[in-house]
Amino acid sequence: MGTISLIVSLFSSTGRTQHSVARAWSRSLLWIAGVKVEVEGLEKIAPGGSFVFIANHRSYFDVPVILPHISAQFRFLANRNLFSVPFIGYHLKRAGHLPVDSGNPRDSLRTMSEAARVIQERGISILLFPEGGRTEGELDPFKDGAAYIAIKAGVPIVPIGLIGLRKILPMHGAIIRPGKVRMRIGDPIPTLDLTLQDRTKLTQSLYQSVAELLEEEAPVPVPY
């Protein structure tokens, strides 16, 4: 599928066809692995709209679960190190995904501004994991990148809670186990009336929204 996506990218500069290939790959992977996904709240995503999607991050299998079930065209904010991996990095770049270095504030700010520009100019959406990476414990405090991007682009944020992924592919696991997982989609959170000064408060609201989707008790996080 990666080879097909790269070939297609020679004829499609928008990344839309590559996104379709990625969705087909995800469906195949779920079927082969014996993973069934129960989706709640899909009707909350307005067709044709642009959003910032956020989700908790427990497993490398999170992306294959999300991809085939959301019809919106979206791109990822991916760790910059992945763009240095042969074949994979070239594929990510050709598909229109954006590299981010969470350890470099100036670089992260440029990436977030670029993500907002992409949303506005191309009419697409962005998916990111606001915990900053995979986590093993409960929900970690969110970084404010999602809030920054959504406010600057003027688009709603859609929270997503992924449940059961640890059992399918644990953080340090190498074997995919068949089973059922749940993807719960929350109500879109508007940002049109907000400014960048509101992003810390918005980030805390996003944390609470995802925690409720996970049916966890959400302590007040320490903002980054």
One digit per residue, the tens of pLDDT, for the chain of length 224 reads 666 666 666 666 666 777 778 888 889 999 999 999 999 999 999 988 999 999 998 888 898 899 999 988 888 877 777 777 766 666 676 667 777 776 666 777 888 888 898 888 888 899 999 988 787 777 889 999 999 999 999 999 999 999 998 888 877 777 888 999 999 999 999 999 999 999 999 999 999 999 999 984 344 444 44
- Decide if 221 is inside a domain: no
pTM metric for this prediction: 0.84
CATH number at residue 187: 3.40.1130.10
Q: Is residue 183 part of a domain?
A: yes
Query: Which runs of consecutive H residues, i.e. helices, occur in 60-129?
Result: 62-66, 88-95, 105-122
Q: What are phi and psi of 67, to 5 degrees?
A: -50, -55
20 Cβ contact partners less than 8 Å away, ≥ 6 residues apart: none
Total domain count for the chain? 1
Strand, coil or helix: 101: coil
Helix 16-33 and helix 88-95, axial crossing angle in degrees, nearest 10? 130
Q: What is the pLDDT of residue 15?
A: 66
Residue 176 lies in a domain: yes
Count the helices and strands in the chain (H runs, E runs).
8, 7
Answer whether residue 145 is part of any domain: yes
Domain annotation covers residue 179: yes
What integer pLDDT is reported at residue 94 of this predicted model? 65
Please tell me the distance from the alpha carbon of residue 207 to that of residue 221, in angstroms, as a whole number: 8
Residue 105 located in a structural domain: yes
Q: What confidence score (pLDDT) does residue 224 get?
A: 44
Range of the domain at 34: 2-213
Query: How confident is the model at residue 135, as a pLDDT?
Result: 78
DSSP state for residue 207 in the 8-state scheme: H
Determine, yes or no, domain membership for 57.
yes
In-domain check, residue 219: no
